[in-house]
Amino acid sequence: MKIAFVLNQQPVELEIEPCETLAETLRNRCGLTGLKVSCEVQVCGACTALVNGLPVSACTFLAYEARGREVTTIEGLAGKDGRLHPLQQAFVDEFALQCGFCTPGMILAAKSLLDENREPKDADIIAYMDGNICRCTGYLPIMNAIRRVAAVMRKRATGDDPTSARSADLGSR
């Protein structure tokens, strides 16, 4: 079957099998390997992609369900100039990644959270990130990275940050 959707801000049209998952389509047909497949049952979060800004488990989300929608992968977050998205940079700066397997899913889930809630409390972060498992970091650096970006977003929203004129909305790229 033929489907069309927007992938990382670019329109795409693909021929897919009706039972093909979004993870299979993104990895095998689009060559976007940042998304990882691990559990294949919606438990680990390594396969997280954003569909219309909301996190989905691409390992069980059928590709045809993406038709007419906007899909974002980790590859779509960095700027066209190669500059990392603030969440990507915060994960590096806060040592919120080790092996990196879960990192793309973590970052995309965190982006969705911050797009929805610019002032999350720790309990909000924990609840939102609940479906993403990391076996390496112990989660504290991940929490610190998300808190850090949320704080920057708050400063920019209030005009307290001198870089606010450059990018008032960290969530969009």
Instruction: Return the CATH superfamily for domain 2-76.
Output: Beta-grasp domain (3.10.20.30)
Residues of the chain with CATH 3.10.20.30: 2-76
For 16-165, strand residue ranges (E) read 48-51, 54-57, 70-72
Q: Quick: pLDDT tens for 53-93.
A: 999 999 999 999 999 999 999 999 999 899 999 999 999 99
54-57 and 70-72 as β-strands: parallel, antiparallel, unpaired?
A: unpaired
Q: Quick: pLDDT tens for 5-62.
A: 999 999 999 999 999 999 999 999 999 999 999 988 888 999 999 999 999 999 999 9
Block residue for tokens 């076996």: 135
CA distance 104 to 44: 12
pLDDT bucket at 162, cuts 50 / 70 / 90: low
Give the predicted TM-score (pTM) of the model. Answer: 0.89
Distances (CA, A) of 87 to 59, 64, 70, 74: 23, 29, 20, 11
Residues 6+ apart with CB under 8 A from 26: 7, 32, 35, 49, 58, 71, 73
86-158 CATH fold: DNA polymerase; domain 1 (1.10.150)
For position 71, what pLDDT does the model report? Answer: 98
169 has a pLDDT exceeding 50 = no
What mean pLDDT value characterizes the chain?
91
117 has a pLDDT exceeding 50 = yes
For position 6, what pLDDT does the model report? Answer: 98
Residues of the chain with CATH 1.10.150.120: 86-158
Joined tokens for residue 58: 């691409």
> Which among 106, 109, 83 is positioned nearest to 166, based on CA atoms?
83
For position 43, what pLDDT does the model report? Answer: 86
CA distance 131 to 108: 12
